Amino acid sequence: MTTSSKGSLAPGTVVTGRWKGRRYAIQRLLGQGANGVVYLVKQVDSAKLYALKMGFDTVDIQSEVNVLKALQRQRYRRGVTGRDISYLVEVDDYSFQGREIPFYVMRYVKGEPLRAFLAKRGGAWLGIAGLHLLRQLRQLHESGWVFGDLKPENVLVSPYGEVELIDYGGVSGIGRSVKQFTEWYDRGYWGAGGRTAEPSYDWFSFAVVCIHLLAEGPLKRAATQLPQTRSLNDLTAILRAEPALAPFREWLERALAGRFKDTAEACELWRELATAAFGRRRKPKGQTPRWMLGAFAVSLTLLVCALYLTLRF
């Protein structure tokens, strides 16, 4: 029953669907999730690029597809138009060495993982990327789902901070148990609550993701101590001590404690804090920097000299 294919397929391999017959040429490996391997593929007939996920297990991958389909239906019904509708493109099987490997094809999104994005653009961009991410989560929560396995690797960011959640393997219906999680971002790991899928579960993970991105050292130290002594207090202590986290401290504290009415409220507070932080950073730049005044004086002198020289002859 388990159709596992850990060895990755070589670029150029053409994957043909068993049921619908469409063909996809593998370009390269994009990444690996808990349920399968993701490739960049080119649809042979249309030459369009897509992401194709090959599952290790038929039931697991189908369960993931079911979530994606349900989300798509819900969005469609609510009349949300735009890019989200075409997320899932096709579901099929691939016969490979006498076995059926389940796969699904989705929209290919260019972007880089959250951590790489922030390393390149600077931690200040967390405000914007975070807001986009929270809005995605809000949509998910309002449709009755919880993302579950929220971690930096599962967040892709486009050059201007737009966010795409990848790997829907952990998405669980609200009220059920969280299907898949990663220990650092799991509130059970920190003794801070259960593993029932509810919006506060995602808030908590989101907060730990922020701590991880802006204060990795202290988080690592807290996470690797003896499990008996590990607790929510360690996270709160990091929040209070780390200057990098200061702009979002209020939000993060409430998220760790699960103290938001709903994700809309969480979004709103984040937006306020991110805007305020942006304002604070801009203020000193409001005055003209000294080097610019100097440069202006120099160029003015040069102009006068040049004029003097030209007019003299």
Partner 1 sequence: MDQRKRGWMQMKQILLITDGCSNVGESPVMAAALARQEGIVVNVIGIVDYGTIGELGSLEIAEIAKAGGGMSQLSGTRKLAQTMQMLTRKTVVQTIQHAVNKELKTILGNSSVVDLPPDQRSQVVEVIDELSENSPLDVALLIDASASMKPKLAAVEEAIRDMMLSLGARQGASRMAVFHFPGAHGGEDAVLDLDWTDDLGQARSIFQRLAMRGATPTGPAILKVMDFFRYGTLEGHGSKKWLEEPGRGEGILGDYVV
Residues with a catalytic annotation lie at 149
Q: What are phi and psi of 262, to 5 degrees?
A: -155, 180
Torsion sign over Cα 79, 83, 87, 89: positive
Nearer to partner 1, 24 or 117 (CB): 24
Q: Which stretch binds partner 1 (CB under 8 A): 72-80, 116-124, 189-197, 207-215?
A: 189-197
Instruction: Count CA atoms closer than 13 A to 233's CA, side-chain side.
Output: 4
Task: Give the binding-site size for partner 1 (rule: CB under 8 A).
Answer: 29
| Per CB under 8 A, 100 contacts partner 1 | yes
- Rounded to whole angstroms, the Cα distance separating 261 from 77 reads 25
In angstroms, give the least distance from the CB of 75 to partner 1. 18
Cβ–Cβ < 8 Å for 104, 254: no
Tokens of 265: 């409220």
Interaction of residue 289 with partner 1, rule CB under 8 A: no
88 binds partner 1 (CB under 8 A): no
**Is residue 176 within the footprint of partner 1 (CB under 8 A)?**
yes
> Which among 132-140, 156-164, 186-194, 208-216 is the span making contact with partner 1, rule CB under 8 A?
186-194
**Binding residue for partner 1, selected from 5, 16, 32, 62, defined by CB under 8 A:** 62
Residues 6+ apart with CB under 8 A from 206: 130, 133, 134, 137, 150, 255
**Residues in contact with partner 1, shown as a per-residue x/- string from 32 to 61 under the rule CB under 8 A:** --------------------------xxx-
3-class state of residue 96 by DSSP? strand
Nearer to partner 1, 16 or 62 (CB): 62
Amino acid symbol at 276 = A
Under rule CB under 8 A, residue 97 binds partner 1: no
Q: State which residue, 42 or 179, has the beta carbon closest to partner 1.
A: 179
Minimum gap (Å) between residue 103 Cβ and partner 1 = 10
User: For residues 11 and 175, which CB has a smaller minimum distance to partner 1 in the complex?
Assistant: 175
Question: Of 87-95, 134-142, 255-263, 288-296, which segment contacts partner 1 by CB under 8 A?
Answer: 87-95
Is residue 177 a contact point for partner 1 (CB under 8 A)?
A: yes
Residue 214: CB minimum distance to partner 1, A? 26
* E-state strands within the chain: 14-16, 23-32, 36-43, 49-55, 88-96, 99-107, 112-113, 145-146, 155-157, 163-165, 172-173
Q: DSSP characters for 203-255?
A: HHHHHHHHHHHH-HHHHHHHHTS-TTT--HHHHHHHHHH-GGGGGGHHHHHHH
Which three-class secondary structure state does DSSP give residue 10? coil
Per CB under 8 A, does 216 bind partner 1? no
Q: What does the binding site for partner 1 look like in residue numbers (CB under 8 A)?
A: 1, 3, 19, 58-60, 62-63, 65-66, 69, 91-93, 100, 175-179, 183, 188-189, 194-197, 227-228
